[in-house]
Structure 1
Amino acid sequence: MMQFRPAASRGHAQLDWLDSWHSFSFGQYYNPDEMGFGALRVINEDRVDPAAGFPPHSHQDMEILTYVLEGGLRHRDSTGGTGVLRPGEMQVMSAGRGITHSEMNDSRVDPVHFLQIWVVPGPRGLTPGYRQQPLDASAVRAGWQKVAAPADENAQFVLHQDARLWIGWPAAGSAWRQPLAPERAYYLHVARGRVQVGTHTLQSGDALGLKGEALLETVAGTDSELLLFDLA
């Protein structure tokens, strides 16, 4: 089964400094039919004006992944983690028993455009943690790469949940085939570009939920950036 979720059906929040689209219920956007997808709780697509951002605020018991599409996002948190996240990098923060952080546009001239993703962890009360690293650009252009997974799978980033994040950057015209486990659920989010999956044409912000499927076949209409969540 494939369930198509067009970008325009997402929730939307517009502030003086923030333009945000919510794939699932978040903040003032509430849709009882869109409370998440398994352990995947939030995908927010945010655009933040120059010199603006989210001042220090707290989280608890959440795995928070950040993926920048354009610009630079300055991060600082109570574990001592700090840095500027840019396209081609990934950041994963485990809020655990409690963490405070801020996220600010690093530029005073250009906006920053990024995805913030929340995954509900299995265990609660973990020690907070933070990791930021570049992705292997040549690998994600060559095919799906598992970049976040439980600790025993030795992925680049750890998720404290029976969940995995695969990232792929297919070039225009490329056709990829990815085996799936039919007993698991998958959520494909198009961060950028256009791809064909069966009868569905997905563009930036569109998503596809998959259940009971054994294979994901994608054909890229343009150079694209794709996120595939593998969930129990």
Structure 2
Amino acid sequence: MKTVLHKSDTRGNADHGWLKSRHTFSFANYQDPERMNFGVLRVLNDDTVSESRGFGTHPHRDMEIVSIPLEGDLKHQDNMGNETIIRSGDIQVMSAGTGVMHSEYNNNPDKPVKFLQIWVIPNKQNVEPRYDQITLNTADRKNKLQQVLSPNTDDAGIWAHQNAWFNMTNLDKGKELQYRLNDADNNGVYAFILKGDATINGQDLNERDGFGVWDTETLDIKADSDTEILLMEVPMNM
């Protein structure tokens, strides 16, 4: 088993006034050659956007972009004709493919919006751009794993152009569960602690810590307090 630990306070920090962001991997002005990616997981940004502010229209291509709102309402618009609101409990994926233009704004005039912006390098380039968004029943992750993303169009959750599986769980203190990799020969898992404290394969983790594990078939997870965790299983080779 191989591991990499990224403590919360070691992440890159960006404060633009209206946007406060913590970068797990190199992004924009934060550049660290030792923190470029975890396999095909290229970006994990922990963003807080001020009231009625946001990202103006900008381009992307050849990237699977996943947004997971944690608090508040995020308004999305793109040149494919989509205009939607995503909220806590929703998950959004956009395959940028040959190129897409989009914007994201805090739809709330009275409170910030917090969300994770995740970029996954796809296994196919120059695909037709697409947009998908679903609302999940968060009760289905209480003390168990809830799959929120996979490579399969007929699976639970949304799908992406990559051999990747994302799961979320909300565990009560003292609860334990095991995650078994879908492709242990090629994939690793990056665990991100959204809230609380947990122990994963013997490693103590706290809120907003990241822990990558590979060359293993399973992750043994124990909640040391009430905790919320995002597990991102991704190929280790690009």
Q: Which residue of 2 aligns with 1:157?
A: 158
Deviations 1:111-154 (A, max 9, x none): 11110000011111111111111113232224122221113562
CA drift at 1:194 = 1.6
CA drift at 1:156? 2.0
Give the corresponding residue for 1:185.
Answer: 188
Identity, in percent, stands at 35
Amino acid paired to 1:129: R
2:142 match: secondary structure: helix
1:224 equivalenced with 2:227 (yes/no):
yes
Distance 1:217 1:122 in 2: 28
What is the distance in 2 between the residues matched to 1:211 and 1:228? Answer: 13
Superposed CA RMSD:
1.5
Deviation at 1:63, TM superposition (A): 0.5
Residues 104 and 192 (structure 1 numbering): CA distance in 2 closer, same or farther, change over 3 Å?
same
Gaps of 5+ in 1: none
Moved more, 62-71 or 190-199: 190-199
Determine the structure 2 residue equivalent to 1:47: 48
Aligned to 2:213: 210
Instruction: State the distance in 1 between where 2:88 and 2:64 align.
Output: 20
1:102, distance to aligned residue in structure 2 (A): 0.7
Contact 1:39 1:163 in 2 (8 A): no
Secondary structure of the residue that 1:143 maps to in structure 2?
Answer: coil
Work out the CA distance in 2 between the residues paired with 1:40 and 1:225: 20
* Paired residues of 2:143 and 2:175 also in contact (CA < 8 A): no
- CA offset digits 1:181-217 (Å, max 9, x no partner): 5423111111222212244221221011101122211
Equivalent residue, structure 2, for 1:201: 204
- Provide the C-alpha distance between the structure 2 equivalents of 1:17 and 1:151, rounded to a whole number of angstroms: 37
Tell me if the contact between 1:21 and 1:46 (Cα under 8 Å) persists in the aligned partners: yes
Give the length in aligned residue pairs.
Answer: 232
Uncovered stretches (5+) of structure 2, i.e. residues with no partner: none
Give the Cα separation in 2 of the matches to 1:11 and 1:37: 15
Shift of 1:97: 0.7
Could you tell me the TM-score, scaled by structure 1's length?
Answer: 0.94
Shift of 1:171: 2.3
